Amino acid sequence: RLYLRREAYFSILMDRAHAGPILVGSPSGGMAIEDVAAATPELIFTERIDIQEGLTDEAVTRLTKNMGFEGQAAEECEDTIKKLYKLFLESDATLVEINPLSETPDGHVFVCDCKLNFDDNAEWRQAEVFTRRDRAQEDPREVEAAQYDLNYIGLDGSIGCLVNGAGLAMATMDIIKLNGGSPANFLDVGGGATKEQVQKAFEILNGDDKVKAIL
């Protein structure tokens, strides 16, 4: 059994606003990071990474300090962050989340729980990773859509969207929200959609009990 002195939080994810990876850390781990952000936002620290420059020692040291690691634990934490960033790049990950990243009473650092997400577009390059994919853990509608090369993401609204083009799909969802509605999905059939793809798209939308109208 491993006894832990304290638990921190660490993740690497893609930040659209920054158009690159971002490190997120907090001295408060072992709980939902959303709860930490809501209750104590001052305990959430970030370090944006220039994808051309790469991960710098200064950024790693700064985040490690903000996460509360000192001495030997700080050295191990910095080493762990660098290795996780290497994993993030080499595996085409979109998320590496460690919660908790824990420290033992004698100053050692352990990754106690980890969540990984990968870029679907890199499946051809990450064949070994994707052989471990468990589609039973995914939304069955999204699994079915992927079999027909449809870009589908299920949402919680009541207005189904079937659109040609990702940009137009996003704009359509915005228009629905601006007019007081709520989209039931994101669905881009693509520019070269076949009759079979369009039919399947309608079948998926019609199979959603929450959908009351289709735009």
Residues taking part in catalysis = 9, 97
Rounded Cα–Cα distance for residues 55 and 68 (Å): 20
Indicate the burial class of 142 (C-beta count within 10 angstroms; 0-12, 13-18, 19 or more). middle
Whose CA is closest to 27, among 78, 68, 76, 73?
Answer: 68
At residue 111, the 3 state secondary structure works out as: strand
Residue positions counted in the chain = 215
88: its two tokens: 């993030």
Cα four-point dihedral sign 72, 101, 77, 65: negative
